[in-house]
Structure formats: structure tokens, C-alpha cells
Amino acid sequence: MRTQFIYGLLLYLFLLLPPVAYLLESIMITHMHMQMPLLVISGFLMGGILLKRFPRFFEKWNNNGIPGITLFLIIIIYWTIPRTMDEALTLQSIQAWKFISLPFLAGIPLRDSWKKLSKAGKNIIIVIFTVKYFGMGALYIWAEDQLCNNYLIIEQLTLGWGFITTAICLVIYLIYVFTVDPTKYE
């Protein structure tokens, strides 16, 4: 548990370094599909020690995992809005909000909630992300206007196809989950 916290903290501090942040934010797809997920992962890794130290707090407000996963979904959906990604590059307060909200309001609740959700609940979350990624992909690919002022149209198209590719991978995973019985192989 302590090792995971250290790895999560080191990852978080690495992502905070200005050259690293600038590099990841300079390309639209690495901003959305690399920096933001890595911030969530850093919070996920750091969250284990917090869950262990404050179990009553998390049991009280996230007993069945639904409030935590709802908070996770709200934060993730917020950060997929093109304007918020654009503002993160131009407003320091929004940039700071990104570095606080993704690890601490998305990563930690995800760690606490995921183990509490049923298999059906987990699959519903994956279906939600699949639909969201297809929708965001379509938006970024077929929008007639430039959605983010800080990125070129070609980067917008690349991000759109990145969303579609991720959604296809999630569909493949869902097909696997619904067609393969893992107990036959244990």
C-alpha cells in the first residue's frame, strides 16, 4: 500500500513538472488521452493509503460505491468538454483545478468505488464510457468548426479518432465479458 502511494505521488509530482506538463499539453491527444488519465491513475495509486487510514469516512459517504463513481463520472465528463480543455491552457486557475480534480476527485473515488460495484455496475460504467467516447469521437471528427482555440484542426481530428479507437477497444472488451465464462478456464 505504501509503495503504491509512493509511485502515485512520484507520478503526480512528475506530471506537475512544467516541462512535462507543457509537453503533454502541447499535443491535443496527449493532453486528453495521456496527461488526464495519468493524473487519475496517480490519484488511484495514492488513494489506497487514504482509504486505509480513513475507512469510516469512505464507508459513510460511499457505502455502495455509487456516490463515488458518480463523482468520478462528473469529473471525467467535465474534462472532456472542449472548452474546459481549452481553458486549462489559458487560465491558471483552471489548470490548477485540473491537477486537483483529476487525481483527488476522480482517482481516489474510482479506487474506493470500483471494488464496491457489482459486475453489472462495472459493465454499465464501461458502456457509458463506450457511448461517451463514440459521441466525443464523432463530435471532434465531424464538427465543422474548430472546437479548441489552442489546437489545430488536424489535432482535433486525431483526438476524435483516438476517442473512436478507445470506444472500439471497449466494445471488444464488452463482447469478451459477455461471451467468455472465465470460470471454465480456472
Give per-residue pLDDT as tens, 105-117: 999 999 999 999 9
Confidence category of residue 46, pLDDT binned at 50, 70, 90 = very high
What's the domain count of the chain? 1
Q: Which domain holds residue 77?
A: 1-184
Q: pLDDT, tens digit, for every residue of 75-90?
A: 999 998 888 988 999 9
Q: What is the mean pLDDT of the chain?
A: 93
CB 152 within 8 A of CB 92: no
| Percent of the chain scoring above 70 in pLDDT | 100
Q: pLDDT, tens digit, for every residue of 58-70?
A: 888 988 999 999 9
The span from the CA of 134 to the CA of 162, in Å, is 10
Is the overall model pTM greater than 0.75, yes or no?
A: yes
